[in-house]
């Protein structure tokens, strides 16, 4: 089954607009020109970890960057949608468990849902590194920008970025009152709604914002093994309050909290027994005896402080994240019980980065930082034989499952402290020399 229609309705206190990508009456030359102009706007990026955003064309790194307007023009739902807009980049999720990233940049990637397998492409949300691949590929909303850095980024971002890094930055409150809402519909059906409201709380010192998101996807893959229902259903709920406090002209504090919950069917595999890879088809069917399930809950807190100390800026980013994922998938993608994977992942992490950036002279700037990361992971999972599988399905999410169905595997606790430094000497004719070092 393929989707044939998508409509989006967005409103704000300043304007009302309606766009339907598949409605010919709305697809005018004016609308096309407007979307084209959005895609060539100047874009600010933060990947160089300086005390301010930089223009994309001024950063000597291979970056694909998208601001809020560009993301809206592409009607982005998940980060996977950017795979078609970035060269040498694949931002897909792994095929065995929903929500687990399988990112690849310039051919460097992994193909595993096991949390002990480190990624080659790191994902950072508001400056906080997400320590495992689980619970990463979820819906995104109310973002200021997304940056995709191609190539090794180990100096500024540490390990697990040999292929590159993906940086997501949520929109911060501006201190002015505003409200925004968006509603969309796709055949399937799939309903999506998001809204945000922001404004001053205490004059020009404290501003707040609340963003909310909801998606209900009824599933759009036909299942030949059970024609009574489609597979691939998913329901997602997220909310994100944020606050910006400016106690003085040289200090700003930002607090962001995000909670999300995603529930639905397990991974959907293409019909395996009779599929012909060389045969081109507009339709993708499933033929699975177990639709499975997925339940992902996450909470994340980010606290960022920027202090202008005269000859430079001190930045501190504290992050806490907790992810719980329980999933069952028909990995063999057939009506036979060959490989059904049942997993439970529980992870919590704490990180803190203290960073200094200063322009010591007109030609010399310095970036130096100290980074702390602490992570606990509990992982349970294995393919189940028939008799044990039947019992585990009836005992799902119970104490019996904990004791017999899925033996516990405690991964070693990971705790590290890193330091890094970089000095850049800017010469004439836009030629720069850089010396950098990082301890692991």
pLDDT digits (tens, 9 = 90+) for 47-95: 777 767 667 766 777 888 888 888 888 888 888 888 888 888 999 888 8
**pLDDT of residue 409 exceeding 60:** yes
17 strand-pairing partners: 10
Distance CA 96, CA 138 (A): 15
Flag the least confident range among 157-171, 235-249, 323-337, 366-380. Answer: 323-337
In this structure, the chain runs to a length of 440
Confidence of residue 299 (pLDDT cuts 50, 70, 90): very high
Flag the least confident range among 143-147, 236-240, 268-272, 362-366. Answer: 268-272
Average pLDDT over residues 218-223: 84
**pLDDT of residue 258 exceeding 70:** yes
Mean per-residue pLDDT over the chain, rounded = 80
pLDDT of residue 419: 92
Maximal CA-CA distance, the chain: 73
pLDDT of residue 39: 53
From the candidate CATH numbers 2.60.120, 1.10.860, 2.40.170, 1.10.246, the one assigned to the domain spanning 6-439: 2.40.170
- SS3 readout for 400-418: HHHHHHCCEEECCCEEEEE
CB 306 within 8 A of CB 251: yes
Say if pTM beats, i.e. exceeds, 0.75.
yes
Distance CA 366, CA 428 (A): 18
Could you list the beta-strand ranges (E) of 93-233.
Answer: 104-105, 108-109, 121-125, 128-129, 143-150, 164-170, 178-186, 190-202, 206-217, 222-223
pLDDT of residue 40: 56
347 strand-pairing partners: 323, 377
- SS3 readout for 122-140: EEEECCEECCCCCCCCCEC
């Amino acid at each position: 089954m393929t989707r044939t229609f998508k409509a989006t309705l967005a409103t704000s206190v300043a304007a009302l607009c309606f766009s339907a990508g598949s409605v010919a009456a709305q697809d005018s030359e004016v609308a096309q020109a407007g979307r084209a102009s959005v895609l060539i706007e100047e874009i600010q990026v933060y990947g160089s970890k300086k005390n301010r955003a930089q223009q994309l064309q001024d950063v000597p790194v291979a970056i694909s960057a998208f601001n809020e307007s560009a993301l809206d023009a592409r009607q982005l739902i998940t980060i996977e949608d950017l795979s078609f807009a970035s060269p040498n980049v694949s931002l897909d999720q792994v095929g065995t468990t929903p929500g687990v990233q399988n990112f690849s940049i310039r051919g460097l990637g992994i193909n595993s849902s096991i949390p002990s397998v480190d990624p080659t492409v790191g994902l950072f949300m508001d400056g906080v590194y997400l320590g495992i691949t689980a619970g990463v590929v979820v819906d995104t909303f109310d973002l200021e920008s997304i940056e995709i850095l191609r190539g090794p980024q180990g100096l500024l971002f540490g390990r697990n970025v040999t292929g590159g890094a993906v940086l997501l930055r949520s929109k911060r409150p501006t201190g002015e009152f505003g409200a925004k809402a968006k509603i969309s519909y796709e055949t399937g059906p799939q309903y999506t709604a998001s809204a945000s409201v922001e404004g001053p709380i205490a004059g020009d010192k404290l501003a707040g914002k609340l963003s909310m998101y909801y998606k209900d996807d009824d599933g759009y893959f036909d299942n030949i093994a059970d024609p009574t229902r489609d597979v691939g259903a998913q329901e997602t709920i997220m909310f994100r309050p944020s606050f910006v406090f400016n106690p003085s002209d040289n200090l700003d504090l930002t607090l962001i909290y995000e909670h999300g919950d995603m529930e639905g069917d397990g991974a959907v595999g293409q019909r395996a027994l009779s599929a012909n890879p060389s045969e081109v088809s507009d339709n993708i069917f499933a033929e699975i005896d177990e639709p499975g399930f997925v339940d992902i809950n996450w909470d994340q807190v980010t606290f960022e402080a920027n202090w202008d100390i005269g000859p430079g800026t001190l930045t501190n980013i504290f992050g806490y994240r907790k992810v719980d994922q329980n999933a069952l998938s028909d990995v063999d993608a057939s009506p036979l019980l060959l490989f059904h994977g049942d997993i439970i992942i529980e992870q919590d992490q704490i990180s803190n980065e203290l960073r200094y950036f200063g322009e010591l002279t007109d030609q010399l700037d310095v970036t130096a930082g100290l980074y702390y990361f602490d992570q606990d992971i509990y992982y349970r999972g294995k393919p189940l034989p028939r008799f044990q599988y039947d019992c585990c399905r009836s005992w799902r999410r119970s104490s019996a499952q904990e004791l017999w169905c899925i033996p516990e595997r405690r991964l070693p606790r990971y705790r590290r402290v890193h330091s890094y430094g970089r000095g850049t000497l800017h010469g004439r004719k836009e030629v720069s020399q850089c010396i950098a070092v990082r301890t692991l």
